[in-house]
């Protein structure tokens, strides 16, 4: 009995020690995951700073370039900038659909930024080579306009498509586990950090980059924007193993389009006189779900 008690007395501390070790291991793994997520977050925020600065480095001074370098009239310059800005701010909708349905967020961001690098390189070339810039007080030729506007629209498509996807891609790096309080707090703070970083990037573009473009060289200023986007692409590609990359799960826009297609196919159908024929279930008197009464109010 003494031996059994002795063995039993030893057994309980061992089990407790194992449980404590298991719990500490889980805590250690959780802290490692949080540190990894924090490191990933810092990398993504740095890349977003480069992306936002590159975009606004072109946007904030675009109308000045069109007026002082390409010698366009005021009305056409304003219309060109507004059209370009509209494309830039509508592209996130298309980018989100492509990311959710086909490419996934990581691939969409990588391809979008790569396209923007090509566009910014064309803009830099247009602002640097004398053959692509009109002489003083002379309007730009068709070829010169084609090169420049092709570049800025590639920039708008690339950065615009990746902008909204980049934000949600960063949020995917955190767990939604309700028990991981630190992880949830880090995810909640990400959006505040993003807007702080975005404002810093816009401030940098509106002061430093605009000053370089106006006072030093348009080619140098646009070249800095292109280098920002290029660094973002290279860094995003080289740091791929540290990201949590989820497959596309489908876009809610697909269901909306299906509804519109079904509506277009059935728009000429005649509604039956008997309203009960509108229901597919055999049991019309369904106690679980109350049905709305059919009316002609919205015919």
pLDDT of residue 155: 95
DSSP, collapsed to helix, strand or coil, labels residue 32 as helix
pLDDT of residue 291: 64
pLDDT of residue 192: 85
CB within 8 Å of 18: residues ≥ 6 apart: none
Cα–Cα distance, 100 to 93 (Å, whole number): 11
pLDDT digits (tens, 9 = 90+) for 177-210: 656 666 677 777 888 889 999 999 999 999 999 9
> How confident is the chain (299 residues) per 10-residue block, as mean pLDDT?
44 42 47 60 92 95 94 92 94 88 91 96 95 90 94 94 87 70 73 91 95 94 96 94 85 78 84 70 55 71
Look up the pTM and report it: 0.74
274, containing H or E segment: none
pLDDT of residue 178: 53
pLDDT of residue 177: 62
The CATH code that applies to domain 15-242 is 1.20.1250.20
Cα–Cα distance, 22 to 175 (Å, whole number): 21
Domains of the chain by residue range: 15-242
CB within 8 Å of 232: residues ≥ 6 apart: 47, 50, 51, 54, 113
Is residue 200 within 8 A of residue 127, CB to CB? The reply is: no
pLDDT of residue 28: 45
**Tokens coding 8:** 């039993």
Cα–Cα distance, 47 to 52 (Å, whole number): 9
């Amino acid at each position: 009995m003494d031996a059994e008690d002795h063995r039993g007395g030893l057994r309980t501390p061992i089990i407790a020690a194992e449980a404590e070790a298991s719990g500490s291991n889980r805590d250690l793994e959780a802290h490692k995951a949080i540190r990894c997520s924090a490191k990933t977050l810092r990398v993504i925020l740095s890349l977003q700073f480069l992306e936002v600065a590159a975009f606004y480095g072109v946007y904030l001074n675009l109308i000045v370039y069109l007026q002082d370098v390409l010698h366009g009239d005021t009305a056409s310059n304003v219309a060109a900038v507004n059209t370009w800005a509209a494309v830039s701010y509508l592209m996130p909708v298309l980018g989100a659909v492509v990311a959710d349905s086909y490419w996934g967020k990581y691939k969409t961001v990588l391809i979008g930024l790569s396209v923007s690098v090509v566009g910014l390189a064309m803009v830099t070339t247009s602002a640097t080579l004398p053959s692509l810039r009109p002489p003083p007080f002379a309007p730009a030729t068709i070829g010169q306009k084609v090169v420049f506007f092709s570049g800025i629209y590639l920039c708008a498509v690339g950065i615009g498509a990746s902008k909204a996807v980049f934000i949600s891609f960063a949020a995917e790096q955190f767990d939604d586990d309700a028990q991981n309080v630190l992880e949830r707090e880090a995810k909640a703070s990400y959006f505040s950090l993003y807007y702080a970083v975005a404002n810093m990037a816009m401030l940098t573009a509106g002061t430093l980059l605009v000053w370089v473009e106006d006072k030093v060289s348009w080619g140098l200023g646009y070249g800095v924007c292109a280098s920002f986007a290029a660094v973002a692409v290279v860094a995003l590609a080289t740091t791929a193993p540290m990201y949590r990359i989820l497959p596309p799960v489908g876009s809610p826009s697909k269901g909306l389009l299906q509804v519109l297609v079904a509506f277009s196919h059935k728009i000429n159908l005649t509604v039956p006189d008997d309203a009960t024929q509108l229901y597919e279930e055999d049991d019309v008197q369904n106690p679980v779900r109350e049905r709305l009464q059919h009316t002609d109010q919205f015919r």
